[in-house]
Amino acid sequence: MTVTTRFAPSPTGTLHVGNLRTALHNWLFARRHGGTFLLRIDDTDKERSQESFVEAIRADLAWMGLQPDAEERQSARFDHYEARFAELAAAGRVYPAYETAQELDLKRKIRLGRGLPPVYDRAALALSDEDRARLEGEGRTPHWRFRLDHDAPIIWDDLVRGPQRFDPATMSDPVIRRADGSWLYLLPSVIDDIDMAVTHVVRGEDHVSNTASQLQMFQALGSTPPAFAHEALLTGSEGKLSKRLGSLGIAHFRELGIEPQAIASLLGRLGTSDPVEPFADLSPLIAGFDFARFGRAPARFDEAELAQLNARIVHQLPFAAVAGRVPEGVDAAAWSAIRPNLETVGQAADWWRVVQGPVDAPAPSDDDRAFLTRAAEHAESLDWSTDPWRALTGALKEETGRKGKALFLPLRLALTGREHGPDMGALLPLIGKERAVERLQA
């Protein structure tokens, strides 16, 4: 079997962190099995769908490195939906219903008041042809429902949640088409999954009840359903479902300087029994991706953890990966020197300003002033072609008897203006003899 997964966003807004996780897991599973990853734009909602959001979705996936193998759009497939809808109508598996939203709401309240589940009572199935003609003569246009088969339970083995069982008699016949003829999510998605040979549907656990209905739709259309993996939803660091997660998207992460590999490393392992690790290369993440390792407990998304992962990934990035994002003049040697002190690639500019100067060093004590004067004299006469930092500190240690913090800190402060930073052995050659002598003299 060739594995085929699909990520199916609606272009009614930009992707948020939960969407990104779904896209990533579909991509990882397809890549793990040498399969196909599809992007399907679910743009049946003509009023809310916008082309700008389609472009944004493509751009976000590209930035994450989740390149789809093909793209489909539901708005180009209405003829397919009409044809399969006609089949279901002929088989009696869809039927028109005429209740208004207010009438349906009243029915739900009445059933709840009687201690009954608030499911649709199938009153529309009892309408005669004359009843329907009368209602339509009054100006009512029907919406359409899929008639669930109540004869047997709906059962499937979920790749994350394990064995699932639903009693269709306790479920409402789902609305699949609005009164204006537009499509709701359920049926077009099934038709697309059939036509596109989707083998695995990976999505959030909030779709579990949808899956129960859709399994009967696959059956009614004479097709074998795909396997389903319903993942636990993300929670915020405060330990409960967070509305803020719905607003965190690529723009937010890029503004913070987060690398796509950091997002993938975190979202790829959240909810599993595996440790979250910084994968600058996603190959190990792909190789180890397995739905059997996911649990049913909510997955906790922590931006602080993401920031830590990001720093660890930045420390792995070769110069070629950042060459276009660092200041002019930064070469491989400079990147190697400053990289261990960065949390984001953008911070390279701060350290490059330290290299180029000027630096705002604190005024030294009288003892340190004399020490730095001797340091400037030694720096002037050093051989800078080998290891000037070792030579400078070695000479000063022998002459003054200073060691440890007393030896190194005044030099670092004078040369960089900071108490901490990159290894001075790597940084001093970047500063260079002329600037170093000038700073020590100052």
Evaluate the omega torsion of the peptide bond into residue 358 and state whether it is cis, within 30 degrees of 0.
Answer: yes
> What distances in angstroms separate CA 403 from CA 374, 426, 433, one per listed residue?
15, 20, 23
Beta-carbon neighbour count of residue 131 at 10 Å?
12
User: Can you name the residues that pair with 188 across neighbouring β-strands?
Assistant: none
Distance separating alpha carbons of residues 402 and 61, to the nearest angstrom: 55
Cβ neighbours of 273 (radius 10 Å): 10
* CA–CA distance, 400 with 410 (Å, rounded to integer): 13
Q: Which residues contact 50 (CB under 8 A, 6 or more apart)?
A: 11, 12
Contacts of 60 (CB under 8 A, 6+ apart): 14, 15, 20, 249, 250
Rounded to an integer, what distance in angstroms lies between the CA atom of residue 42 and that of residue 26?
16
Measured CA distances, 352 to 205, 254, 327, 342 (Å): 47, 21, 7, 12
Neighbour count for residue 432 (Cβ, 10 Å) = 15
33 conformational bin, left if phi > 0, alpha if psi -120 to 50, beta if neither? alpha
Question: Residue 405 annotated as binding?
Answer: no
Residue ranges at the known binding site for ATP: 243
Residue ranges at the known binding site: 243
